[in-house]
């Protein structure tokens, strides 16, 4: 007899799942019964929050949903923070948990791991949460989840399976087949209107978000055809090469970039919420789009939020961008203003380069050094000073190479477990794994420090760049800027190099660029994780010499 738990694993295999993250518990052993004979790889984090962050990182580099097996109660409350980050950034994640037997749901009898209503608790950080009331429902609910991942706005999905359903006879489901859903194309009438607006524009501009990341080749050609400067959100970095003359980066929080956006007569926004952490991380307000706003998004609800459009198109970003490009390429475009396009983007970039302060320059040089030594690296960032700096000043040459938790939900401790998942994701779909760098502060690392042991166990050779400023440096700076006496930010910082060694990692501290370069070269040749500590003050002093 095949139980529901065993059939679930078979169905996940059929949907192409190759990786699961989770911590086995007495309420999930039936899932692991099926996993033991499966080709699906399993990684055990040291906390369920780590499982969620690993799944997030895996999804971002592989393009496939990250999958977690989670126990009832504390397992689910632990993972909700990671689900919140994935929800905010539209990352596909499938969280499968156990729950009390059907007759015990909501009973309040003090059962192990009992919550009054686990599904309701999780619903706020999930596209949907479904309680499987019989094994027969399993193929249908999985189809619903993967339909969302394949053709909708991807976000976490939670499926909870009562303990008695997990062990139900599910032999009849062994022949169930996965569904495959095509993403929606663009409506011809809307395409025609949108293309005409762009053709007639004197000063067109493109704002692209993480939802457009698969449209990068077409978007590059569209921008060049229109002569439109391109601004990217943090999650869209790399959609244009760093040296492209139309790229204005992710600097929409700055006055000069906002002035350029305000000059545009037509703005095309693709796959972006136009939200606070995309364009206004300083919380100062003032980002305006006075020109005609055209929006393309997979989510109809999102097309009218934050900034109402003159015209909106609900479609897959890649299909819509390719269709726009085809229409616009077939027509003769009028003359653009001579000082627009690449000329205007160059003027902005020159202006911005002149205003960076010394700490910003030092941190930018640090990032450039890392990518100079490891040009093929993926950088997974936390909420830490060099990450905030890189969000403004650094541009990778390819998408899916720079992402972090300083946007959206804004969690601390994200980068370490997410980097583990990102490395595993780089091996998915037959890809050759490349370096994965975790950029994290000393404060953030202490949130998820035990996951270094997970990295050792999973043999993931991630490179942890520990930016040590002896506390919560970014928050301290924010307090000082607001004339608030710093409280709670100068925390005790332990010997993190020693702790990393105790957890099985190679670990060392470096001073200056030469030592960093040598350490990165050695770390890239290692089979296991490496922690490299950079003291913020020493780095800045070394550059000043």
pLDDT digits (tens, 9 = 90+) for 23-53: 998 888 888 988 988 999 999 999 999 999 9
Look at residue 237 and give its three-state secondary structure: coil
Model pTM score:
0.94
Q: Which two tokens stand for residue 236?
A: 């869209």
| Cα distances (angstroms) measured from residue 257 to each of 132, 241, 248, 364 | 50, 19, 8, 19
Q: What is the pLDDT of residue 36?
A: 87
The residues, ordered by sequence, that sit 6+ positions from 515 with a Cβ below 8 Å of its Cβ are: none
The whole-angstrom separation of Cα 480 and Cα 140 is: 54
Q: Which two tokens stand for residue 93?
A: 């994640």
Architecture of domain 4-173: 3-Layer(aba) Sandwich (3.40)
Closest CA to 165 of 34, 4, 12: 4
| Cα distances (angstroms) measured from residue 14 to each of 39, 43, 69, 181 | 11, 20, 17, 14
Q: What is the pLDDT of residue 219?
A: 98
The whole-angstrom separation of Cα 379 and Cα 400 is: 9
CATH homologous superfamily for the domain 358-544: Thiamin diphosphate (ThDP)-binding fold, Pyr/PP domains (3.40.50.970)
419 neighbors 462 (Cβ within 8 angstroms): yes
The whole-angstrom separation of Cα 18 and Cα 38 is: 9
Could you tell me the residue ranges of all domains in the chain?
A: 4-173, 188-342, 358-544
Rounded to 10 degrees, the C-alpha dihedral 416/444/124/207 comes to -80
Mean pLDDT of 316-343: 92
Band the pLDDT of 201: cuts 50, 70, 90. Answer: very high
pLDDT at 545 over 60: no
Band the pLDDT of 281: cuts 50, 70, 90. Answer: low
pLDDT at 283 over 90: no
How many beta carbons lie within 10 A of that of residue 330, not counting itself?
A: 8
Higher-confidence residue: 105 or 293? Answer: 293
Asked which of 72-86, 278-292, 507-521 is least confident by mean pLDDT, the reply is 278-292
Q: What is the mean pLDDT of the chain?
A: 92
Band the pLDDT of 347: cuts 50, 70, 90. Answer: very high
Q: What is the pLDDT of residues 227-272, one digit of tens each?
A: 999 999 999 999 999 999 999 999 998 999 999 999 999 999 999 9
The residues, ordered by sequence, that sit 6+ positions from 19 with a Cβ below 8 Å of its Cβ are: 40, 41, 42, 43, 58, 66, 67, 424, 425, 428
Q: Which string of DSSP letters, residue by residue, matches 123-173?
A: GGGSSEEEE--SGGGHHHHHHHHHHHHHHS---EEEEEEEHHHHTSB-GGG
Q: What is the pLDDT of residue 1?
A: 84
Q: What stretch of H or E contains 417?
A: helix 415-426
How many beta carbons lie within 10 A of that of residue 64, not counting itself?
A: 18
What is the length of the chain?
545
474 neighbors 383 (Cβ within 8 angstroms): yes
How many beta carbons lie within 10 A of that of residue 184, not counting itself?
A: 14
Band the pLDDT of 60: cuts 50, 70, 90. Answer: very high
Q: What is the pLDDT of residue 112?
A: 72
Mean pLDDT of 274-291: 78
The residues, ordered by sequence, that sit 6+ positions from 439 with a Cβ below 8 Å of its Cβ are: 379, 380, 381, 382, 384, 386, 387, 390, 404, 415, 465, 467
Residue recorded with tokens 């690296």: 377
Mean pLDDT of 344-350: 96
Q: Which two tokens stand for residue 56?
A: 């997030």
Mean pLDDT of 363-386: 95
Class level of CATH domain 188-342: alpha beta
Q: What is the pLDDT of residue 280?
A: 62
Residue recorded with tokens 């996951």: 451
The whole-angstrom separation of Cα 82 and Cα 71 is: 15
Asked, colleague to colleague, whether 4-173 and 358-544 share their fold, the answer is yes
Q: What is the pLDDT of residue 282?
A: 58
Band the pLDDT of 290: cuts 50, 70, 90. Answer: very high
The whole-angstrom separation of Cα 426 and Cα 192 is: 38
pLDDT at 433 over 80: no
Mean pLDDT of 353-372: 93
């Amino acid at each position: 007899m095949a139980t529901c738990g065993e059939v679930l694993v078979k169905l996940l295999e059929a949907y192409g799942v190759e990786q699961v993250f989770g911590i086995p518990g007495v309420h999930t052993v039936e899932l692991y019964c099926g996993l033991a004979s499966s080709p699906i790889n399993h990684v055990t984090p040291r906390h369920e929050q780590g499982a969620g962050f690993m799944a997030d990182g895996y999804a971002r580099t592989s393009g496939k949903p990250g999958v977690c097996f989670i126990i009832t109660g504390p397992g689910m409350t632990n993972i909700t923070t990671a689900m919140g980050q994935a929800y905010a950034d539209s990352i596909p994640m499938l969280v499968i948990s156990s729950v009390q037997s059907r007759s015990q749901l909501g009973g309040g009898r003090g059962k192990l791991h009992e919550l009054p209503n686990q599904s309701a608790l999780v619903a706020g950080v999930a596209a949907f949460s479904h309680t499987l009331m019989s094994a027969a429902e399993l193929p249908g609910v999985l189809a619903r989840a993967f339909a969302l991942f394949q053709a909708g706005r991807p976000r976490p999905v939670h499926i909870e399976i009562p303990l008695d359903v997990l062990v139900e006879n599910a032999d009849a489901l062994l022949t169930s087949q996965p569904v495959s859903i095509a993403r929606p194309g663009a409506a011809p009438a809307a395409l025609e209107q949108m293309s005409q607006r762009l053709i007639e524009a004197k000063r067109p501009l493109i704002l692209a978000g993480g939802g457009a990341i698969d449209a990068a080749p077409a978007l590059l050609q569209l921008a060049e055809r229109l002569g439109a400067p391109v601004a990217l959100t943090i999650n869209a970095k790399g959609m244009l090469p760093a040296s492209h003359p139309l790229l204005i980066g992710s600097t929409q929080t700055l006055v000069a970039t906002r002035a350029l956006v305000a000059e545009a007569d037509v703005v095309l926004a693709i796959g972006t919420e136009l939200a606070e952490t995309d364009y206004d991380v300083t919380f100062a307000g003032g980002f305006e789009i006075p020109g005609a706003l055209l929006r393309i998004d997979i989510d109809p609800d999102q097309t009218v939020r934050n900034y109402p459009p003159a015209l909106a198109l609900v479609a897959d970003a890649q299909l819509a961008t390719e269709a726009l490009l085809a229409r616009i390429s077939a027509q003769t475009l009028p003359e653009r203003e001579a000082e627009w396009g690449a000329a205007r983007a160059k003027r902005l970039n020159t202006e911005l380069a002149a205003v960076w302060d010394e700490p910003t320059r030092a941190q930018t040089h640090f990032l450039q050094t890392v990518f100079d030594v490891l040009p093929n690296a993926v950088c997974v960032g936390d909420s830490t000073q060099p990450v905030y700096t890189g969000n403004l000043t650094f541009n990778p040459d390819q998408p899916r190479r720079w992402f972090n938790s300083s946007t959206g939900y804004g969690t601390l401790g994200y980068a370490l477990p997410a980097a583990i998942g990102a490395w595993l994701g780089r091996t998915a779909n037959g890809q050759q794994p490349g370096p994965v760098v975790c950029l994290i502060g000393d404060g953030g690392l202490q949130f998820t420090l035990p996951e270094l042991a997970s990295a050792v166990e999973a043999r993931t050779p991630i490179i942890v760049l520990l930016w040590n400023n002896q506390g919560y440096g970014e928050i301290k700076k924010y307090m000082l800027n607001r004339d608030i006496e710093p409280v709670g930010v100068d925390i005790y910082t332990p010997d993190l190099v020693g702790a990393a060694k105790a957890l099985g990692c190679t670990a060392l501290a470096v001073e200056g660029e030469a030592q960093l370069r040598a350490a990165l070269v050695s770390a890239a040749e290692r089979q296991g994780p490496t922690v490299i500590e950079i003291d913020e003050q020493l780095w800045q002093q070394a550059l000043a010499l």
